[in-house]
Amino acid sequence: MVLIGIAVKTLSLHKGSSFFGAIVPIGIVVGSALYTIRSYEITPEHIAIKRLLWSNYLTRHDIEKASAIDAPRTGWRLAGNGGLFSFSGLFWNEDLGRYRAYSTGGKRAVLLEYSYRKVVLTPDDPEAFVRALQ
């Protein structure tokens, strides 16, 4: 709402301002909204991360360990969205190292450990999600 307000105010106060300066905040909101994580679905072969218009898929057969953890709170965003509609992208913190997040927020999360990467998800019930994977 703040970004949209900035865009509207820019257009109304500065009649000679560029359209580009007002459209950028709206583009940020719309672009981030498209990456909203709606839900997670476990299938026999994949974990589907349901977004607004598409899904991302993680393979299940490569998972070495799945565990419920406290959601990561500190660290660095290397690339991605840090909180506008979701936390998704590449992150780093001291406890986990580098990991990919597909998170809607919350206090609890699921850590999926592959031999080549770590992935953090935030389903409504992390313990039940881990049980469903086993």
CA distance 90 to 122: 15
pLDDT, tens digit (0-9, with 9 covering 90-100), for 56-104: 999 999 999 999 999 887 788 788 777 777 788 899 999 999 999 998 8
Q: Which residue has the higher pLDDT, 71 or 15?
A: 71
63 and 128, same structural domain? yes
Domain span at residue 20 reads: 2-33
120 and 94, same structural domain? yes
83 and 106, same structural domain? yes
DSSP string, 67-125: EEEEPP-SSEEEEEEESSS-EEEEEEETTTEEEEEEE---SEEEEEE-SS-EEEE--S-
Mean predicted confidence (pLDDT) in 116-125:
94
Tell me, what's the pLDDT at 10? 59
Position 112 pLDDT exceeds 80: yes
113 and 49, same structural domain? yes
26 and 47, same structural domain? no
49 and 21, same structural domain? no
52 and 11, same structural domain? no
Tell me, what's the pLDDT at 24? 72
Number of domains in the chain: 2
Q: What percent of the chain has pLDDT over 70?
A: 83
27 and 84, same structural domain? no
60 and 28, same structural domain? no
Pairing of strands 37-42, 97-103: unpaired
The dihedrals phi and psi of 44, each to the nearest 5 degrees, come to -60, -30
**Beta-carbon contacts of residue 89 (< 8 Å; ≥ 6 apart):** 77, 78, 79, 80, 81, 82, 100, 101
The dihedrals phi and psi of 65, each to the nearest 5 degrees, come to -155, 135
94 and 29, same structural domain? no
86 and 48, same structural domain? yes
92 and 27, same structural domain? no
